[in-house]
Structure 1
Amino acid sequence: MADFSKYGGASREWKAVEAAFPSPAPDGASVLEKRTAANANREKTSAALMTKLADKVELIDVSIPARDGFALEGRLYWPKSVPKDAQPALYLHLHGGGYLFGTLSSEDAICSNLAINTSDKGTPLVVLNLNYRHTPEWTYPTAWLDAQDGLAWIHATAVPQFGVDPAKVVVGGISAGAHITATLVLEQHLGKLPVDVPRVAGQVLMIPALVNSQCYEPQLAQLASPDVSSLVENEFAPILPVHIAHFFTDLLKVPAHPRVDDTFLSPGNATAEQVQGLPPTVFGICGLDPLRDQGLLYAKLLAEKAGVPTNVHLYRGVPHGFRRYGPDWLSVSRDWDATMEDGIAWALKNPTATNTLDIIVHGEETM
């Protein structure tokens, strides 16, 4: 039985961040007002970072048709160091934001850095940023279907038009985007996608949500005790306490009483047989996160029971979404970036499974 509670607690660096940036008091804003404010802040931060990146990367806006006729926004990030005839790998980026937040421009710095740095390290890479649709206007499973349509577009359009390598497509996401990623990759593996495209070469799951809040019983059954669950240990964690996580998932309007074995909604509840043969998988997990155990249990399933190559990183002492504060405040921000950049390159090398859950721990001891 699993017990990951030793990874809990806050680091001294995080305590310093909390002191410098106290949590704002509830303001009574509506959902749409919250989204507008959050997106504006994310876009402002990204734009400031882009001033140092703009001359290193070309941004190419594209329109991606969804199955219902909706035109999804997409943006390619092509490092200027990568020749147009290089047949680079492509990383499909699905942003975080609780299924509610995120825009095309809010991801410019993340995607540009990822494309530039991964390419500079020896793996030519372009990034496709897909702005899937958000709550509250669009409910479950719209964003998940948008991701499927984005993957289909890559092979129908990006491969012939831009010359990316169809055998080197990696999909990844952060938080809600990691949830959508895990479903997309598992659905392809199970032969359930509406369009048959080449197998994804790898997946990157950063601070993933993998199980709907109504379907958590199989997760608890794998733990030594419900009391050691990260949902209990980190119930009141910074940035994403449990009640805020429920706020986001409630906006999805998932039908009541979903099946716990519905792997489209809860890929973290898949069986060993269902995940056997998945592509190499990278995990980035925070110790001070209610979602911690979902990521670690899925990594354990893939590594130990299904023989899937895994690359698992745990950031000790920091909460869900810590990366927003950057390396000037939190040294593990550099580890986060390296996990993604090096993880994509690792997945593309067809790594061998170890059949053990090897966790690379980053960060200082917790208090």
Structure 2
Amino acid sequence: MADYSEYGIPSAEWLALEPNIPPLPAFSSVDELKQITNGGREKVSAEEMISQGLSEVVALTDHSIPTRDGSTVEARSYRPKTLPSSGPLPVYVHLHGGGFLFGTLSSEDAGCSRIVKSFLEQYNQGIVVLNVNYRHTPEFTFPTAWEDVEDALVWLHGIPEAELERTLGVGIDRSRVVVGGISAGGQLSASASLKQNLGLGPTAKLPKLKGQVLMIPALVHLDHQENIRKQLKSPEASSYHTQSNAPILDLKRIKLFTDQLKVSDAVLKGEGFANDRRLNIGNATPDEVKGLPATVFGIAGSDPLRDEGLFFAKLLADQGVPTNVQVFPGHPHGGRRYGNQLPIASKAWDACIVEGIHWILSEPAAAAFDIKKAY
């Protein structure tokens, strides 16, 4: 029986910052909250594009991806302005966090550009990052975001080579596509990877994903945590218990995000929902996860979602899936937003993603389940 509560003790870095964090802005509606949050994220991203020299080395190109319902979703690709060598580049498909409610193309510019810049600096290698702005609640409910991600992967693989190079501005290797995301984006990434592994949906016939990067992922619906609780030493050890009032993401905020998906009562109470892996990837069976590609986990210690992430990582490792598991002790969900105010954790976060993608592309071998502290 497991007990991961040791990772929830707040870090010294967080304790020093927390008293200086202003309270969350008041809002009268979900739409207002969405507008405030997206505006703040875009402002920080734009400032970092300049202050970190990202705009000097990274080229951005916008795209429009057709969806199965006759609409389109926005996407943006990021690539080096100067390539270190010729040849097609691997692709990292980035799916942002935000509880399926927040996020825009521009809010992700700095994070996506940092990956490109870091690959150049650390490995003298190029990479293309594709930022998919899947559609959000409350306007678009479950399962729109999940389908948008699948449609984006179909689009990426379906464009003729010559057109693709014109569209992205560089050649890509479609046998080296890694998908990854943060929080809700982590859930979408894990869902797409698992569904392809099971041979379901429109991505089943595409080349297998090379790997997935799951940062602070949501993997089990609030109403289907039984399997998680059974694996714990005691109910009191649960991250949903010890971190119920965690900073940034507490249970109240998780419920707000979940409610916006508007999964019907009939689905919530039915057999189908418990077995719907789009929402409950973390409850997959051993047979279902066998054959998944190499997976990186970045887990925040002071996060209600901590346990489901670590249990899913163990499930994969036990079934022979190469896993790279890092925990950020005492770090809250989404703490990367504080950037240089949390220098140790932010540096470790960025390294987890960049080094994780590089690790996946190196075709790692499977190993026993192991949790590494990021700092």
Q: How does the TM-score come out when normalised to structure 2?
A: 0.93
Identity of aligned residues (%): 49
- Match of 1:166, SS? strand
Large movers: runs of 4+ above 4 Å = none
- Match of 1:29, SS? coil
Partners in 1 of 2:322 and 2:118 — Cα distance? 23
Partners in 1 of 2:348 and 2:279 — Cα distance? 30
- 8 A Cα contact 1:159 1:166, kept in partner: no
Q: Which amino acid aligns with 1:175?
A: S
Stretch moving more, 268-277 or 115-124 = 115-124
Query: Which residue is equivalent to 2:18?
Result: 18
- Match of 2:190, SS? helix
Q: Which consecutive unaligned segments of at least 5 residues does structure 2 have? A: 166-170
1:340 pairs, out of 353, 364, 367, with: 353
Partners in 2 of 1:317 and 1:81 — Cα distance? 39
Query: Cα offset for 1:273?
Result: 0.6
2:190 pairs, out of 178, 182, 189, with: 182
Q: Spell out, residue by residue over 1:315-338, the C-alpha distance to the aligned partner (whole angstroms, 9 max, x if none).
A: 011100000111343411101100
Query: Cα offset for 1:28?
Result: 4.0
Partners in 2 of 1:48 and 1:24 — Cα distance? 21
Asked if 1:307 corresponds to 2:320, the answer is yes
- Match of 1:179, SS? helix
Query: Which residue is equivalent to 2:362?
Result: 349
Partners in 2 of 1:118 and 1:98 — Cα distance? 28
Q: Spell out, residue by residue over 1:4-23, the C-alpha distance to the aligned partner (whole angstroms, 9 max, x if none).
A: 11111111210121111133
Partners in 2 of 1:240 and 1:190 — Cα distance? 31
Stretch moving more, 189-198 or 227-236 = 189-198
- 8 A Cα contact 1:17 1:329, kept in partner: yes
- Match of 2:94, SS? strand
Partners in 2 of 1:152 and 1:203 — Cα distance? 17
How much is the aligned-residue C-alpha RMSD, in angstroms? 1.4
Query: Which residue is equivalent to 2:244?
Result: 235
- Match of 1:168, SS? strand
Query: Which residue is equivalent to 1:2?
Result: 2
- Match of 2:254, SS? helix
Partners in 2 of 1:157 and 1:127 — Cα distance? 17
Partners in 1 of 2:30 and 2:86 — Cα distance? 45
Q: Which structure has the highest helix share of the two?
A: 2
- Match of 2:145, SS? helix
Q: How does the TM-score come out when normalised to structure 1?
A: 0.95
Asked if 1:207 corresponds to 2:216, the answer is yes
1:134-173 equivalences in 2 (<5 Å): 134-157=136-159, 160=162, 161-162=164-165, 163-173=171-181
Q: Spell out, residue by residue over 1:217-271, the C-alpha distance to the aligned partner (whole angstroms, 9 max, x if none).
A: 1111111112110000100000001111111011001222253232122100001
Query: Cα offset for 1:85?
Result: 4.8
Partners in 2 of 1:81 and 1:266 — Cα distance? 42
1:65-76 equivalences in 2 (<5 Å): 65-76=66-77
- Match of 1:32, SS? helix
Q: Which amino acid aligns with 2:345?
A: V
